[in-house]
Amino acid sequence: MVFPETRLRRLRYNKVLRDMVTETKLSVDDFVMPLFVCTGDNVKNPISSMPGNYQLSVDLLVEECKTVYASGVKAVLLFGIPKEKDEDGSVACKHDGIVQQAIRAIKKEIKDMYVIADICNCEYTTHGHCGTIIDGDVDNDITIETLAKQAVSLAEAGADMVAPSDMMDGRVALMREKLDENNFTKIPIMSYSAKYASGFYGPFREAAESAPKFGNRATYQMNPANSDEAIREVELDVVEGADIVMVKPALSYLDVIYRVKTEFKMPVAAYNVSGEFSMVKAAAEKDWIDGDRVMMEILTSIKRAGADIIITYHAVDAANILNGKK
């Protein structure tokens, strides 16, 4: 049937009806809040390019987690800023490493908080690359050994899930093997499967003090022009044992999220990264856009594309809107 019998506006005149036929509904259950933990006591360093986000010492991180949990967001993703770095990032595997301390403290105070540990070396290496440098580039097979150690160490500290973000080949398989050998068979791996070499990570690298000191990450992160390759990355991670696959960034890669969800039927996470967050904040500050409205529109688009889990610095703000607290 066509016009005039069919009128699509008929479903739009009444808000109750509009709500009933809404296809995509965001929920606080979808959100993960990324947080940055640093050494010291009572430290709260603002991250200038990410308004409202801070490097927090463990004591204040725990307080922040209470706020996050009270908003309804029940999962956090932790990034550490250690006091000292080394050549191969092995400081990340220390029993009393910064993220290990943070996990224990959060679990002690807020036992139901779901704590996800990002697994990567870039915050822990002196050169800022995601692994050990041999002949001027990150060596794959040495790096996956340190990453697997880091994963076991963070699981020992109490992490509920590990999330490798390094983009080395074979890291999921080795991580699964080492976790299982250490009796962590119940700990899922959320793999950053299709992670692109993106300009949108700029603010994060300020936050995590993890910018590479030379070169870039193009020999390990993906070319933004490719999506068939994303499918191959996801396929391998699934075979290697990933429980959840991730696409990152989210907004410029909605087509990739859609393809991954459609082709694999796996739980899919999308990382709404720092640069995507900061652009909204900057434009809203200038009154060029309605920040809250654009935030909800972006998050809805990520879910509509097929993401089950959305990792976002907007998590608490969006939760407060969804809960009518804002």
Judged by beta carbon, residue 203 or residue 306, the one nearer ligand PBG is: 203
Looking only at residues 297 through 316 of this chain, which bind ligand PBG when binding is defined by CB under 6 A?
none
* Residue 270 amino acid letter: A
User: Is 291 within 8 Å of 52 (Cβ atoms)?
Assistant: no
Classify 6 in phi/psi space as left (phi over 0), alpha (psi -120 to 50) or beta. Answer: beta
Which of 30, 64, 88, 118 binds ligand PBG (CB under 6 A)? It is 118
154 vs 9, 97, 196, 272, 324, CA distance in Å? 53, 9, 25, 24, 36
Please indicate whether residue 74 is annotated as part of the active site: no
The pattern of x and - marking residues 126 through 165 that bind ligand PBG according to CB under 6 A reads ----x----------------------------------x
Measured from the CB of residue 273, what is the shortest distance to ligand PBG in angstroms? 4
State in angstroms the smallest separation of the CB of 21 from ligand PBG.
Answer: 34
CA 3, 8, 14: angle at the middle one, nearest 5? 135
| Catalytically annotated residue among 195, 261, 281, 303 | 195
Q: Which of 175, 273, 295, 309 binds ligand PBG (CB under 6 A)?
A: 273
Eight-class DSSP state of 212: -
Among 201, 242, 269, 307, which residue interacts with ligand PBG (rule: CB under 6 A)? 201
Nearer to ligand PBG, 110 or 217 (CB): 217
Residue 260 lies near ligand PBG (rule: CB under 6 A): no
Report the residue closest to ligand PBG, judged by CB: 204
83 is a catalytic site residue: no
DSSP 132-191: -EETTEE-HHHHHHHHHHHHHHHHHHT-SEEEE-S--TTHHHHHHHHHHHTT-TT--BEE
- Minimum gap (Å) between residue 248 Cβ and ligand PBG: 7
> How far is the CA of 72 from the CAs of 83, 106, 116, in angstroms?
32, 16, 16
Kindly indicate which of the ranges 24-32, 83-91, 139-147, 202-210 contains the residues binding ligand PBG, using the contact rule CB under 6 A.
202-210
Compare residues 169 and 182 and give the one whose CB is closer to ligand PBG.
169
Q: How far is CA 276 from the centre of its chain?
A: 13
CA pair distance 91, 75, nearest whole angstrom: 25
Tokens 């990450």 sit on residue: 217
Amino acid at 11: L
Query: Which 164-183 positions form the footprint of ligand PBG (CB under 6 A)?
Result: 165
* CB nearer ligand PBG, residue 182 or residue 282: 282
Which residue has tokens 């904040």? 281
Q: List the catalytic residues.
A: 195, 248
Q: Which residues bind ligand PBG (CB under 6 A)?
A: 118, 120, 122, 130, 165, 201, 204-205, 210, 273-274
